[in-house]
Amino acid sequence: MSAFIFDLDGVLVDTAKYHFQSWSAVADKYGLGFDAALNEKLKGVSRRRSFEIIVGHNGRAVDDYDVSEILNEKNRLYLQFIASINASELLPGTIDILSACKRHGIYIALGSASKNARYILEQTQILHYFDIIVDGNDVTKAKPDPQVFQLASRTLGLKNEECTVFEDSIAGIQAAQQANMHTVGIGDSNILTLADITIPDLSYFDFKLLHK
């Protein structure tokens, strides 16, 4: 038996734009510069680490801010954005690959930094596909630490080498590779250079790619 472990934001569901919008609003409020290039560095990392990256990019000190309040504020904004999220937000190929996994007897796991993952899976009507969910509520270390993926494989009773991770972030690819898992990058091959395979989105996935 093998498993496919999926990141959530930007891989299965088009929620990355809402993270960008909520971080943009927070950055504007506190006079911090924030743009799409900086947002790329936040993909796959925790909320706290994301704020640290934004503050560091602006040459500021994290200790100058009420971090807990800011992180809560960011999450409140994000939850407002995703309040009406539904299956229309699923990215191309999501249903096809999840259905194919079921047909092929492949375990389906989620490995996400999001603490809102279960809610999003419910709202987009794909929760029932997942054998296990490991998210930001279950881990203490953010990607690129491999903890989220190691916990997923251990929970499934599989060796790390039997797992394939689908990620859209550099940190996520690094985490999977530290866990000695196969990696499929979702997005730009010029950015996700460390991935074993890179495809634009899940609709491009073919099981034959894993045997090349």
At the fourth CATH level, the homologous superfamily of domain 16-82 is Putative phosphatase; domain 2 (1.10.150.240)
Distance between CA atoms of 159 and 41, rounded to whole angstroms? Answer: 29
Please check the confidence at residue 186 and state whether its pLDDT lies above 90. Answer: yes
- The H or E element that residue 56 is part of is helix 47-57
Both structure tokens of 111: 């490995």
The CATH number of the domain covering residues in 3-14+87-211: 3.40.50.1000
**Helices and strands, number each (H, E), in the chain:** 8, 6
pLDDT bin (cut points 50, 70, 90) of residue 204 is very high
The tokens describing 211, both together, are 């045997």
**9 assigned to active site:** yes
Q: What is the pLDDT of residues 102-115, one digit of tens each?
A: 999 999 999 998 88
pTM, two decimals, is: 0.89
Residue 125 Cα to chain centre, angstroms:
18
The two three-digit tokens of residue 175, written as one number: 């985490």
Residue 4: phi and psi, rounded to 5, are: -105, 125
Query: For residue 212, what pLDDT band results from cuts at 50, 70 and 90?
Result: low
Half-sphere exposure of 178 (CA within 13 A, CB side): 15
Mean pLDDT across the chain, nearest whole number? 94
Residue 196 · residue 184 · CB < 8 Å: yes
The whole-number pLDDT of residue 172 equals 94
7 annotated active-site: yes
Boundaries of CATH 1.10.150.240 in the chain?
A: 16-82
CATH 3.40.50.1000 boundaries in the chain: 3-14+87-211
